[in-house]
C-alpha cells in the first residue's frame, strides 16, 4: 500500500520542481518551492528519517521560503524566463 | 548557450543513469551501507555507551561532535557574511524601493497581532521542548533553534521590523550567536583541561549531575549531559543567525522597513 | 523486457533522483534570472540529500530511536510486510540491557550527515540572496544578459 503513495509523491516532486522553475512570477516560484520542500519532508518521514524530515520542515519550508519571499519583495517580482 | 547546457545535462544524466544499475535494491538490509560495521556499532552501542535512545542525536553530538562544532561555526560565518554584504553599504539614491505601508506600531491588523500574541509563546515553549527532549524523540539543537528563530521572524512579520528589533537589538543577535559557538567549543576545551581528548564528555563527570540511582556509571551519564549542553549552544547560534539573516534580507540592510 | 524490469521498475526511485538532479543542474546553467538560478541550486541540493538518505533505508525497519515502552519495536509501523522471524530479539525490558537488533532500525549515519547539509544549504541560500540583493541595488536588474551588457558598457 505504501509504495503507491511514494510513487505519487515522487512524481509530484518532479512536477513541482519543473513548475517552480518555469513560472515567470518570482513570488509564485518561491511558494511552489515551499511546496517542493514540504513534499520532500513527507518522503523522508515515510522512509523513517524522522530527524531529517523535522529539520527539512522547519528549515526548508519555514525559513527558506521566507528568505526567498523577503528577497523577492525587496527586488523585483517579474523575471524574463 | 542553451543548447550547450542541455547537452551537458543530458550527458551527465545519462552517465548517472548508467550507474543506477549497480545500486542496491530499495531497502535492502544486505546493502554495503547497512552492513558496514560502523553503522552496526552506532545502532547497538548507542545506549550502552552514551545512555541516549535517539541514535541520530548520539552520533551527531557525541560520536561526530567535531563535525557539528564546525557546522555551527559555518552557520555563524554565513550570518556574519550576510551582515557584511548588506549592512555596510551606504544607500544610493534608489530610495524608490517600496516604502512599507504602515510603520506606526499602533494600527496594524488586530487579528494578526492578537493571533501572533497567542501563538508565539507556545512556539517558543515548543522550541525549548524540542531542544531538551532531543535525546528521547526526534529533535535536538538544530530543529529547536530554527523554531525559536522562526518565532522571532513571526513577531517581525506581524508587527514591523523595528518593533521586533527593540526586543533583540542587532548587536545582541551577534552576541547570542557567538555565545553559542563559545558554549560548544568551551565544552570541548574544558574536556581538554580535564586531561582527556577534545570533546570527550566523559571527562566532565565531576561537574555534571550524577546518574539517578546508579543505573549507569557516572561517566556514561556525563556523556548524555554533555550532549545536552552542546545542543543548547547550537540552538543559541542557529536561532540568532536565522533571525539575523531575516532582518538583513528583508530590509536590504537598512533595518528600517521590513516585510 | 527483463532488463527493463530490472533497471527501471525496481530502481524507479533512483531514476527520479537523477531526474531531479538534472532539473536543478539545468536551471543553474541555463536560466537567465539570478533568483531562478538560486532555486535551481536548492533543488539540486535537495535531490542529493534525498539520494543520500535513501541509502540508509532498510526493509521492515523502524526509526533510529530506541523506544522504552515494551514491545513497541514489534508493533512498529513498517513499509512492506515484515517477516516475524525475530520473535523475541526486539523485546524490551525495563531495566538493564536489552538486545538491539541492527536490522530492525534504519541506518542513522546518513541522517546525521544530511542534517548538517540541510542547515548549511539554507545558510548558503541566504548568502546567495544577499549577494543578489546587492547586485539589484547596484545595477537595477536581476537578469544575467542585462547585467553582462551593463558591465561591458561600464568597462568599455
Taking only the tens place, the pLDDT of each residue in C98-149 is 677 777 788 888 899 999 999 999 999 999 999 999 999 888 888 989 999 9
pLDDT of residue B258: 58
The three cell numbers of residue B44 are 547497538
pLDDT at B238 over 60: yes
pLDDT of residue A4: 83
Partner-chain contact C118 A7, CB within 8 Å: no
Q: State the SS3 of A14-51.
A: HHHHHHHHHCCEHHHHHHHHHHHHHHHHHHHHHHCCHH
Partner-chain contact C50 A20, CB within 8 Å: no
pLDDT of residue C90: 38
Taking only the tens place, the pLDDT of each residue in C28-83 is 999 999 999 999 999 999 999 999 888 888 877 788 888 776 434 443 444 443 44
pLDDT at B98 over 70: no
Partner-chain contact B245 A54, CB within 8 Å: no
Residue of B nearest to A68 (CA): B249
pLDDT of residue A62: 85
A positions 33-62 inside 8 Å of C (CB): 33, 36-37, 40, 43-44, 47-52, 55-56, 59-60
Res. A16 pLDDT band, cuts 50 70 90:
very high
Q: Taking a C-beta distance cutoff of 8 angstroms, is the pair C100, B44 a contact? A: yes
| Closest alpha carbon to A34 in C125, B122, B115 | C125
Q: What percent of chain A has pLDDT over 70?
A: 99
Q: Taking a C-beta distance cutoff of 8 angstroms, is the pair C48, C18 a contact? A: no
Residues of A in contact with C63 (CB under 8 A): 48-50
Tell me, yes or no, if B202 comes closer than 8 A to chain C by beta carbon: no
Contacts 24+ apart (CB under 8 A), C9-15: C10/B25, C10/B26, C11/B20, C11/B21, C11/B23, C11/B25, C11/B26, C12/A7, C12/A10, C13/A6, C13/A10, C13/B26, C13/C54, C14/B20, C14/B23, C14/C51, C15/B17, C15/B20
Count CB atoms within 10 A of the CB of residue A25: 12
- Its pTM stands at 0.86
Amino acid at each position: 500500500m505504501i509504495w503507491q503513495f511514494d510513487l505519487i509523491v515522487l512524481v509530484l516532486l518532479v512536477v513541482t520542481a519543473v513548475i517552480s522553475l518555469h513560472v515567470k512570477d518570482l513570488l509564485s516560484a518561491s511558494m511552489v518551492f515551499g511546496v517542493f520542500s514540504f513534499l520532500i519532508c513527507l518522503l523522508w518521514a515515510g522512509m523513517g528519517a524522522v530527524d531529517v524530515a523535522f529539520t527539512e520542515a522547519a528549515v526548508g519550508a519555514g525559513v527558506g521560503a521566507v528568505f526567498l519571499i523577503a528577497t523577492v519583495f525587496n527586488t523585483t517580482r517579474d523575471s524574463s524566463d | 548557450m542553451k543548447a550547450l547546457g542541455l547537452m551537458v545535462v543530458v550527458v551527465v544524466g545519462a552517465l548517472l543513469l548508467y550507474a543506477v544499475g549497480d545500486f542496491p535494491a530499495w531497502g535492502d538490509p544486505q546493502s554495503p551501507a547497512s552492513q558496514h560495521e560502523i553503522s552496526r556499532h552506532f545502532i547497538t552501542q548507542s545506549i550502552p555507551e552514551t545512555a541516549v535512545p535517539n541514535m541520530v542525536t548520539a552520533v551527531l553530538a557525541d560520536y561526530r561532535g567535531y563535525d557539528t562544532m564546525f557546522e555551527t561555526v559555518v552557520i555563524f560565518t554565513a550570518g556574519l557574511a550576510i551582515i557584511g554584504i548588506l549592512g555596510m553599504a551606504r544607500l544610493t539614491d534608489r530610495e524608490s524601493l517600496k516604502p512599507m505601508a504602515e510603520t506606526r506600531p499602533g494600527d496594524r491588523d488586530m487579528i494578526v497581532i492578537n493571533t501572533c500574541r497567542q501563538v508565539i509563546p507556545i512556539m517558543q515553549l515548543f522550541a525549548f521542548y524540542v531542544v531538551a527532549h532531543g535525546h528521547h524523540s526526534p529533535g535536538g539543537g538544530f530543529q529547536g533553534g530554527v523554531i525559536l528563530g522562526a518565532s522571532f521572524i513571526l513577531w517581525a512579520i506581524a508587527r514591523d521590523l523595528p518593533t521586533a528589533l527593540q526586543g533583540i537589538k542587532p548587536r545582541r543577535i551577534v552576541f547570542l550567536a557567538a555565545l553559542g559557538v563559545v558554549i560548544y567549543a568551551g565544552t570541548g576545551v574544558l574536556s581538554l583541561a580535564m586531561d582527556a581528548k577534545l570533546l570527550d564528555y566523559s571527562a566532565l563527570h565531576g561537574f555534571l549531575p550524577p546518574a539517578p540511582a546508579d543505573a549507569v556509571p557516572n561517566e556514561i551519564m556525563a556523556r548524555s549531559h554533555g550532549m545536552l549542553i552542546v545542543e543548547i549552544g547550537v540552538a543559541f547560534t542557529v536561532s540568532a543567525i536565522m533571525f539575523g539573516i531575516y532582518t538583513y534580507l528583508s530590509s536590504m540592510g537598512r533595518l528600517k522597513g521590513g516585510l | 523486457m527483463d532488463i527493463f524490469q530490472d533497471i527501471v521498475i525496481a530502481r524507479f526511485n533512483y531514476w527520479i533522483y537523477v531526474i531531479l538532479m538534472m532539473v536543478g543542474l539545468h536551471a543553474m546553467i541555463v536560466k537567465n534570472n539570478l533568483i531562478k538560478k538560486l532555486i535551481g541550486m536548492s533543488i539540486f541540493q535537495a535531490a542529493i540529500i534525498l539520494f543520500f538518505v535513501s541509502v540508509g533505508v532498510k526493509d521492515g525497519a523502524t526509526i533510529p530511536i530506541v523506544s522504552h515502552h515494551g514491545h513497541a519495536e514489534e508493533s512498529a509501523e513498517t513499509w512492506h510486510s515484515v517477516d516475524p522471524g525475530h520473535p523475541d530479539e526486539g523485546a524490551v525490558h525495563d531495566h538493564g540491557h536489552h538486545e538491539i537488533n541492527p536490522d530492525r532500525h534504519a541506518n542513522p549515519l546518513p541522517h546525521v550527515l544530511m542534517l548538517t547539509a540541510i542547515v548549511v544549504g539554507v545558510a548558503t541560500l541566504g548568502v546567495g540572496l544577499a549577494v543578489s540583493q546587492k547586485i539589484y541595488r547596484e545595477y537595477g536588474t536581476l537578469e544575467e544578459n542585462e547585467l553582462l551588457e551593463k558591465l561591458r558598457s561600464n568597462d568599455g
